Structures are given as structure tokens and as C-alpha cells.
Chain A
């Protein structure tokens, strides 16, 4: 017993030396509140405590700055993001930091009110000193993107976020969508059609008919999601949310346009023919992800990450990315007035907010700033050389075969939220791998499209604007979804369309457009 005790004591003394870590100058412990929605969706409930990248991040931080960091995560699940998270913030139970964006849905009037009400600290003035990497990144980007980081009161509220579409080589912001039409390759082969046969919606209808004849049931993923189905609506020249027609600066709402009606009429025709699974109203992200494990993946609105999971779970079955179809008449048009994907804005999910009680605030800022280190970004997105990635002939990192074949490695060896840069480079590289078709992916991604895209949460609104927005927006949105689902199931008549338009107007359409326009004008420096 004595010997064992002595051995343990010696081991405890020697281990830190053997690990090669510099002795820490100080030890800091932080409680981190972290809703997990987006990543959870992609990783099927990855357990954050098992993530090797976080451990490595902490280790390298100690190596660089001599500070030992202990992180205690309070991780919320996908659904808790929408209920428990706002309640925790409202109750001030946020620990030292929140690694997630706080907007008006999280706390009334946030982010400005989080500072005004004494829940979080405004670190705007501290960032130049304690977050030099972030500030350098911010200052190197165009004004339009910088503006998104600030609240109407001029506070920097999105420290910790990153652009989703930054090309790491050129520094340019490009369009890159992760959502589009995909199909397991064997299903496409069995249909007797090839990818190049499918260019218009008529072609897509023919494919769906053949798939139905072959007993394939295609799920319609995310019809309610302005992001998941943008590729579909844009094929009709329509937008599912706020947009700027023809790249202008006048904000409009897509679902009231004739093009949107046409797109929905096509969905109704498919519904009537039974060309997609009629359970589409039950869609959840979790169902989509678990469905990917059981062949429930299909041509209509699949997130590329689901395709990733599918391919990894079904050995020998690859996924084909299809061309984004257009309506027959507009096939030769070069201009798509709608929007194709998530480009041109900051990924706000990964913003960091510091509690007023944050332990050693300066150190906490520096710790988050470490995300903007090039080596850390590589670590966060690709993990460990020889394990999860290797370099190709051009010297670029690509995932190893083992990584591609085992989705659990994604949860263990990447942590995209810890990357300050190159967010989508991960997917760019993944898609250039064995699973996807590079040429079609190239078509999915296109530079110069970002001006037409206006995500709902892009703007920072003033308190007065937010009041008007709160009063109308949710009911307005839910009403639109109600009609959308009815239109898909029952079709659209002139009467039902007029009723829909009138309802939208009675629910504050004009007031909402005015608010969005004012916020957009402020963003581009017009007022």
C-alpha cells in the first residue's frame, strides 16, 4: 500500500513534466454556457467533453501564454436553445461566458440591453489591447462586413464570430451554400438518369417519378427553413425570406411574389402526385440527421452535412450532388433574382458574451482571441495531422480516409466553433473528397451572389425598430408558414392567394418592410 502511494505521488509529480507543458504562471477556471444547436445537428449529439480539439486548444494556450485554463461547459441541446437558453440568460445564470449569440429572441432588446441591464460586459474598448488577432481580421475586411459586428449603439457585439464565406487564400467573401439537391448515387443510377439529364424542374419531376416507381420515398427537408430551400426557390427566381431584388438596395419579402407562388404550385403538383414523402410537416433537424442513417435522404433540400453523415454510414454508397434546376423558360437566364445560400454575412452563432462576473476578464478575452490564430483554425477545422487530416500534393489539408468513413471522428477531432477563420473551407475540402462531385459543387458556389442575400437576423435594429419588429414578425412568419403548408397540400387558387396577401398586410407587412429597410440602410451607411 505504501509503495503504491509513493508510486502515485511520483507519477503525479512527473506527469506534467513528461507532457512537455510549460509550468503555468496562473490557473483560470471559467464556466461556459454553450447552446449546441448547429454543431449538434451536424454531429449527432457529439459529446463536447470528449472533443480532443478543445483539450488541444487549452494545451496550446498554456504553451503560448503560460496560463492553465479549466473550462466547465454547460451545454444545451438543440431544442433547449429555444427555451432553456433564454431562461438561463434572463435569470443571469450564464457563468463566465456565453459561447453563442444573444439576440432579441434570447433577451428582450439584446445585445445592447445585455450590457445596459448589467448582465454582460461591453468589451469594445478592451478588444484592441486584448484581442489583437480578432481586430486585425476585422480591419482587413470590407466595411459592409465590419458593420455587422456592431450594435446600433456602436458596441462590438460579435467577438468570436467569423465570416462563413471567407476564402482563406484570397481573403474574398464568396458564396458557398451547403444546401442543395443531393441523391444517393445508387438511386440515381437505378433511375436511369444521369446528373447531366437534370437541368430544369421538368427534368427533376421526371426523376422524382422514376424514383417513386422504384419505391424510393424522397423526404422534403426543411420546407419552413428559409435557408434549407433557398436553392429551390432561387430556381424560380424567388426568395423565401427578405431579399434585395436584382442586387439593388430595396428590401422586399420574397413569399409575396408571383415567382414564389409558382415555386409553391410546383411543390403542390409533386405533393398531389405523391412524389415526395407527405410527412414533410414533421420535419426536424434531428429527424433529418437520424434519417440520413436509414437511407432517408433525398433530392429535395438536403444539407450537405446530412449527405456527409449518410455517405459515412452507408459503406460503398456515395452521394451525388445534382445541378440546381431552373424553370424551363428561364433556364438560359444568367440572373437569378432570388438568393442561393448563406453568403455575405457573419456567422453569429459563435459570438462570445462575457458575464459581468467573468473571472479574469482580460484573460478571457485573450483566450477567445486565440481562435483567430492560423494554427488554431487549422486545428479546429481539420484536427490532428495523420489522424483526421493529411496534406495533399499541393500542400493543402484534406481529411483522411478514416475520418471520412467514421462520423464519430468529426465530433472528436474537429470543433468548428473554435475557428476564427476558414469556416466553410472544411466543407469545401470535404466536398472535394470522394463523396461529392467537384464540378457540381463549383456550380453550387458562385462569387458575387452575396449582395442579394439578407438573412433575417442580419441587422442590428434600434430599440424602437425592435419594438415594431417584435409586435409583428412572429405572427407574420407563422401565418406565412400556415399558408405555405396549406398551399402545398391543397393548391393555390386566386382567392386563397388574395386572402394570403391580405393577411400578410394585416399582420404588419408594411411596417416590417420599413423596419428592415431602415436597418439595412444603416448597415450600408445610407443613414
Chain B
């Protein structure tokens, strides 16, 4: 029986491949990419348990057990890095995540197509500017001689111009604000696409029932794009402990480490700049294990609440 079922599976696969070989061909590069860059390197996690020396074979290095985990978790930076990471991520979920949805809903209401296109193009542009340039602009913008200080000086009497990126209280608003500015236009594309797939007849029916624009949005538009929102939220939660370290590295300084030093910046500083590969592999492994757990949890909650989930 087993042999038969195997043969059946093989035959089914062969039949399916023959019928859909173009789809398999299109999938091939993605599969190869993930195998080479995501699955094969997983064995490298072992260095978190070793005193790894890159020129030696992985398992030739000295085994040290959980030493690197213990060093990090017992140090003063673990809790602070974790707190900063979570705060930035939650702020991002609270403000960055809904921004493209709201923007897409607003664009959807526009009837002047020419104006809509212009707005779309303008809001997409910042997405194509490199992070380095964005950070350079931001640094100049908030420096003591920058435009933001000049603006505040006009509004607040006796304001002493200062470098806002050196003040802890300013970092999070500037970081999240600049992220929103750079990403809300581009992020709205997905939702605009989802909006366009909503059946127009639903709106016509609602209109005949006397539903206002607001009611139509609440009862037709939002439920229509809810699966997309759920999907994006679950994916976003999967990277809840990744905060865009490259941008923070370009913006932060020791003056604001208390709010800006996150898990990823710590990994960069220790791992790359100081060649402490094992120590930071341990930190990275811990971070991504927690990230995976959060994603699974979000997926379960989403499935229970809305019936939508990744798997």
C-alpha cells in the first residue's frame, strides 16, 4: 500500500509538473535564493555556542555552551536594548502601520484622477531616496542651525537652538516621523490594489440603501481590505524585533543611546565593528527566536479574530 501511495504521489507530482512547468520554472529562482541564503546558513547558528574563529571550520572552534547568552542577558544592555526595540516597534505599529492604509483610503476617495496621480507620484518619491541621504537630510534639518530649529525659534520664545538629534526626547518622534514620510506613499500601493478589487456593485447597493461615504468606508472598504491588512500586520509582527538598524546607526550618537540603542545596533557594534561574532550570533539567535514566537502568536490571534492567517 505504501509503495502504491508513493507511486501515486510521484505520479501526481510528475503530472502536475508537466501541466504547470512554467509556474515551477518561475518559482525556481526564489526557491534557490531561499535555500542558499536562508536555509543553508542556518547551521551557522552553532557559532553562538562556540568561541568562533572565522578561519577555522565552524566546529573546530571551542565549545562554550551558553556563555555568550549568559554574558548578554546578565549585562546591563540587554534590558535596555530590548525595551528600546519594543518601544520603537510599537510606535511604528501604532503610527507607521496605519499611515499607508489611511492614505490609501483618502486617495480612494479622490475623484480627480489627474490630481490623484500627481499626489501618488509625489508621495512615492521619498521611497526611492537612499536611507543614507534621508539621514543626511534629517541630520541637517534638525541641527542647531537647521530649518526645524529656525521654525521652533519663530514659534517658541527664548528657544535656544540645539541639535535635536542629541536630545533623547526628540529621537523617537524624528525616527518614526521620518519613516512615515518616507514610506507611507509607497506602502499605500498594496492597499490601493486591494481597494481596486472590491466589487463596485457593493458601493452601488449601499448608495441605494442611503449609506454615507463614511458608512461605505466602514462597512465595505475596510472589510474589503481587511485580509490584506491582516497579512501585512502578521508579517510586520514577525519582524517586531527588527527596527531598521541601518537608519538608527546613521542617526544615533552616545548622547541618545538610552533611547536609540536597539538590539540590532548592539549586534552591529559588537559583532561587525569588534569582530565578536559568537557573542552577537547568540544575541541574534535570541532575538529571532522571540520574533518567531511573536509572529506565531499574532497569526493565531488573527485567525481567531478575523479568520485570516498566514498558515
Contact = CB atoms under 8 A, between A and B. Distances in A.
A492 B272 CA distance: 33
B120 interface: no
B31 interface: no
B16 to A, nearest CB: 41
Interface stretch (A128-136, A252-260, A468-476): A468-476
Contact of A482 (B162, B163, B258, B275): B258
Contacts of B258: 482
A486 interface: yes
B253 A90 contact: no
A82 B270 CA distance: 11
Interface in B207-257: 253-257
Contacts of B145: 217, 279
A509 interface: no
A512 B163 CA distance: 34
Contact of A282 (B161, B165, B167, B257): B165
A247 interface: no
Given A83-B273, A277-B144, A481 B254 contact: yes
Given A274-B160, A475-B77, A489-B255, A105 B56 contact: no
A279 B144 contact: yes
B192 interface: no
A108 B275 contact: yes
B276 A108 contact: yes
Q: What bracket does the count of chain A residues touching chain B fall in?
A: 35 or more
B269 interface: yes
Interface in B151-177: 160-163, 165-167
Contacts, number: 103
Nearest to A507: B76
A314 B245 CA distance: 39
B253 A282 contact: yes
Interface stretch (A112-120, A138-146, A175-183): A112-120
Interface in A116-164: 117-119
A282 B143 CA distance: 9
B195 to A, nearest CB: 42
Interface string A480-492: 0110111001000
Interface string A505-517: 0110000000000
A436 to B, nearest CB: 30
Interface of B: 51-56, 71, 75-77, 139, 143-145, 160-163, 165-167, 253-258, 269-270, 272-277, 279
Interface of A: 82-83, 86-87, 90-92, 104-109, 113-114, 117-119, 217, 224, 274, 277-282, 470-471, 474-475, 478-479, 481-482, 484-486, 489, 503, 506-507
